[in-house]
Amino acid sequence: MKQIFAVLVAAVFAAMSFAAVAQDKKADKMEKKSEKMDKKMDKKKGEPKKKGEGKKKSDGKKSADKMDKK
């Protein structure tokens, strides 16, 4: 009876250890992917703006003026 109990405890311990190792590997993969995405985003931030992107600031003011007229 003691041997069965010891085997069950060992099996539970092994299963938990296996799950923890798998979870760590998955977290490492996700961390590497997020680092790659961060590097890509940093590169995109450094690119110059296209024509017309900076001109849209006045659009918000026009819509506010329209609301005041009503």
- What are the structural domain ranges in the chain? 1-39
pLDDT over 60 at 63, yes or no? no
- Spatial distance between the Cα atoms of 66 and 27, rounded to a whole number of angstroms: 51
Average pLDDT, the chain: 75
What is the predicted pLDDT for the residue at 60? 53
42-60 pLDDT, tens digit per residue, is 777 765 555 655 555 555 5
Distance CA 63, CA 69 (A): 10
User: Is the entire prediction scored with pTM above 0.85?
Assistant: no
Q: Which of 17-21, 32-36, 60-64 has the highest mean pLDDT?
A: 17-21
pLDDT of residue 34: 78
